[in-house]
Structures are given as C-alpha cells and as structure tokens.
Structure 1
Amino acid sequence: MHKVEDIKIWKKSIELAKAVYLLISDLPSDEKYGLSSQIKRSSISISSNIAGGAGRNSQKEFKHFLSIANGSVYELQTQLILIIELNLITKEKVQPVIDLCIEIQKMNYSFQQKLNSQY
C-alpha cells in the first residue's frame, strides 16, 4: 500500500480537478447537466482511481487502477477539446488544462514503468 498524499501524480490530479471546476464555471448554464457533469466526473475519476489503487494489496492491482485513471485523463482531454470545438470556451482558457492532462498522462506512464521495474 502507498500513502496517497505522497504520490506526486495524485497531487497533480487534484490540481487538475480544481482547474477543471474553475474552467467549467464558464460553461453556459444549459450545459450544467450535460457536458459539464461529464467533465466533472472524468476529472474526479482520475484522483479517485489513483487513491483507490494506492489502497490495494498488490502492485498489480495498483497498476490496474492507474490504467483506469489514465483512461479518465484521455476522456477528460477529449471533452475539453469538444468544448473548444463547440466554441463554448476559448482555446486560450482550455489549453492550460489540456496541458495538465498531458502532463498527468506522462507522469502516469512513468509511474507505471517505475512500478514495473520494482517487481
């Protein structure tokens, strides 16, 4: 088991979720239960799966949850691109959050490689 507060990717994913919540406050109110809700779920899923994996009994289980978290990052990135494509929020406002998604994807891959090399 890993102490979740010590995992850099978990900390970064919390930062991402906060950035997402601030960003989507700019979405039109008619998106409150549509795209906005899905984006919130995706962003929360990332840190939640990292935490869930950290509390598991084996590295194999942990890596599985990291894989799920990575899928959520890709879902979120797709949804953010859709916000731009639909002209709901400008690319200039969304791009820093997409960049954070890409950073987390890289961190996740590196972390999984590190876990692989330990066992």
Structure 2
Amino acid sequence: MPRHNFKNLKIWQKAMDLVDLVYLYTDDLPIDERYNLISQTNKSACSVPSNIAEGSGKRTNVHFSEFLTTSLTSSFELETQLLICQRRKYGSVQKLNECIELLKEVQKMIFSFREYILSNDNPDSE
C-alpha cells in the first residue's frame, strides 16, 4: 500500500487543475505550433501531477522527494514554455496569466511538501 494516496494530495489536485487550464490555453495557440510548443507545453503540464503520483508509491519519503523534485523541474520547463508563449504574444492573455498564477502556486506547494516530507522521514513513525 502506498504511503501517500496521491489522489488525496492537494498538490496533485492543484497540478491536475493546472493541466486542465494549460490544455484550455493551448487550444487557442497557432496551429503551426501543434507539434512543437503546444505538444511540449501539454507534456510538461502532464508531467507535474504524473511525477507526484508516481512518487507517492515509493517506499520512503526520500524516494518520494526525488519525484517531487522531478515534478518541480517539469513545472519550471512548463513555466519557460508559457513565457515563450507570452513573448510570442500567443493565445489569450487572460488564460496565460491564469496558467502562470496557478503554476506559481503549484510550485510553492511542491517545494513546501518536499521539504515537509524530508523533515519527517522516520520509517518507524508511520
């Protein structure tokens, strides 16, 4: 049985909300970006909750924290892609700003949760 049920984790839930928001945003991007920026942006967004879920099944909090780190790095990749869209003036400014705002919230949550579980990695206490 996993130590953490990922579906109950607020960071996973927020990251899933982020995926939905990113997909809504990328639906409005130029069609010629379909196989480049749109695909990369959607993959990065999906990687954030996917790594949280995968890490939740690991045996120790240290192992879980490694997947949280990967999730965080995917979020930085996503942030870069959204900033590229911003520079190129792609899509809805409002949707883009909503994505960036939620992304920053998710990044803070992942960072805080990673620090929390690392400070509580005592196998005998669970």
Name the TM tier (shorter chain). over 0.9
Supply the distance in 1 between the matched residues of 2:46 and 2:39 (Cα, whole angstroms). 11
Q: What amino acid does structure 2 have at the position aligned with 1:3?
A: N
1:38 to 40, 53, 57: 40
**Segment of structure 1 superposing worse, 99-108 or 83-92:** 83-92
Which residue is equivalent to 2:76?
A: 74
What amino acid maps onto 1:95 in structure 2? N
Secondary structure at 2:21's aligned position in 1? helix
Equivalent position SS for 1:26:
coil
CA RMSD of aligned residues (A): 0.9
Query: For residue 56 of structure 1, what is the amino acid of its counterpart?
Result: K
Aligned with 2:55 (options 48, 53, 56) = 53
> What is the rounded CA distance, in whole Å, between the counterparts of 1:27 and 1:107 in structure 2?
28
1:26 is matched with which residue?
A: 28
Long gaps (5+) in structure 2 = 122-126
Moved more, 62-71 or 91-100: 91-100
Q: Supply the distance in 2 between the matched residues of 1:88 and 1:5 (Cα, whole angstroms).
A: 33
Instruction: Provide the C-alpha distance between the structure 2 equivalents of 1:12 and 1:90, rounded to a whole number of angstroms.
Output: 21
Partners of 1:18 and 1:42 lie apart in 2 by: 12
TM-score normalised according to structure 2 size: 0.91
1:84 is aligned to 2:86: yes
Q: TM-score, normalised by structure 1?
A: 0.96
SS at match of 2:35: coil
Cα drift, residue 88 of structure 1 = 1.4
State the 4+ residue runs in structure 1 displaced beyond 4 angstroms: none
The structure with the larger Rg is 2
Which amino acid letter does the alignment assign opposite residue 46 of structure 2?
I
Q: Which position in structure 2 is the counterpart of 1:12? A: 14
How far 1:113 sits from its partner (Å)?
A: 1.6
1:89 is displaced (CA, Å) by 2.0
